[in-house]
Amino acid sequence: MLQSRPITTIKDGTDSRAGANGGAGSDFGTGAGIEAELANGGVVEGTERDGKDRSGDRDGSGEALFSGLGASPGIASGVARIVAELDQLDKVGEGDVIVTPMTTPDMVPAMKRAAGIVTNEGGMTSHAAIISRELGVPAVVGTGNATEALDDDDAVTIDGDKGTVTEGRSETDEQRDAVEEVRPQSPVKPMTATEVKVNVSIPGAAERAAATGADGVGLLRLEHMILSTNKTPEKYIADRGVDAYIEEIVEGIRGVADEFYPRPVRVRTLDAPTDEFRQLEGGDDEPHEHNPMLGYRGIRRSLDLPEVFEHELSAFRELYEMGYDNVEIMLPLVNDVEDVLAAKRLMREAGIDTERRSWGVMIETPASALCIAELADCGIDFASFGTNDLTQYTLAVDRNNENVAGYFDELHPAVLDLIGRTVETCREHDVATSICGQAGSKPRMVNFLVNEGVSSISANIDAVRDVQHEVKRVEQKLVLESIR
């Protein structure tokens, strides 16, 4: 599922942007944790391991051990379980705190059991951050050396709002209901012309996502359904056959489509880079790439392996035949007309009526943004901004490189100009526009998009209601200004 990759957001007013690991505290659904600075490699000065016994219950008033980014809100206490290898997942029990370099799709079952999650690496769009928010599990990411600073059985309290990890248990730790936490307290949903949807990475989060009252799913990542099998598509098919592979995809999408029906569920076809496939069974033959983010992934991989892509499309056809007309197909990392027309031809060959079914593209590269008029002429129904990659490719900032993390800015004028031009062109061609990147949960981006006339905004699960209110506020302001 590793579309969720390490990114660290930007803290306003940092003296040095290169290597800055803070973040703007105004993001919806992330709390004060983004204000945490990863100074000294993510460890607060004076909190190195000192041989002190931290096991057992404490009163929760212990010293701060280290800090990171508050990636998923909430406070949780438990005993630490250091997971350096996948074969150590069995030791994670209900209510434990997973401490690991970085989570992977294989770890999701253990993440569901955990009370909290702490990682050495990653930012606000890392796998740990996205999955923890969807599960409603408090998480602190990007701490630097949590796996070295803690030992198994250490009792700790993590604050997913502030991004801190402290010694001992908290007296205020209570049972939490992840679904009820995101259910709107007011039964009255803000009425907006701009649809507010929700991002879903794992089918298991569908109930929690639907409880937000979102207008649909703006992004359902297909890769998690495949990568969670711990096998590459080719290996899975070789071991269990084509029918089982198709059924794996159908059941994953179906669970989300059922939860939201008749609201639309936009599913992105497989997008995982080679370094992520290499970790799976059958991954030995994956090419070694200097920068997988710029390599063999997205639609380019799908078009190069049409026999595998056709199985994905067969799953969509089966869903349509079962009556799931709320499922939409979204193509990732397209660059130009050739990409779109080739994918459209394969969809038709798979038995998908491209005139009747809703399908579209991700706008993740400057090339796709600049070619949007030609892409619109291909018959797409929507264009959705993947701001994580669009920012990376526009600003030449490697999302996995902490040395330049401070330069990653989805609100950079160049990024906003590409988005604004794309929205304007799409409106001229009657093509809907949306955003499904993490920036959709930021107030400033919401304000910009509504003013530009975007059709929908897809937000993180814990940010949906705040985004709804912000959209309503901006729309009301536009109406007032038009009549004054």
What are the residue numbers of the active site? 127, 436
User: CA-to-CA distance for 60 and 63, rounded, in angstroms?
Assistant: 9
What are 301-309's contacts with CB under 8 Å, separation 24+? 301/270, 302/269, 302/270, 302/331, 302/343, 303/339, 303/342, 303/343, 303/346, 306/346, 308/233, 308/234, 308/237, 309/269, 309/270, 309/346
Q: Which residues contact 353 (CB under 8 A, 6 or more apart)?
A: none
* Whole-Å CA distances, 445 to 155, 357, 408, 423, 451: 39, 30, 15, 14, 10
Which phi and psi (to 5°) does residue 408 adopt? -80, 115
Element (H, E) at 97: strand 97-100
Over its C-alpha atoms, the chain yields an Rg (Å, rounded) of: 22
Backbone angles phi, psi at 357, to 5 degrees: -90, 150
**118 and 103 in contact (C-beta within 8 Å)?**
no
Residue 190: what residue type? Answer: P
Indicate the burial class of 353 (C-beta count within 10 angstroms; 0-12, 13-18, 19 or more).
exposed
Find the helix or strand (DSSP H, E) in which 245 lies: helix 242-260
3-class secondary structure, 432 = strand
DSSP β-ladder status, 265-268 and 327-331: parallel
DSSP sequence for 316-361: HHHHHHTT-TTEEEEE-S--SHHHHHHHHHHHHHTT--TTTS-EEE
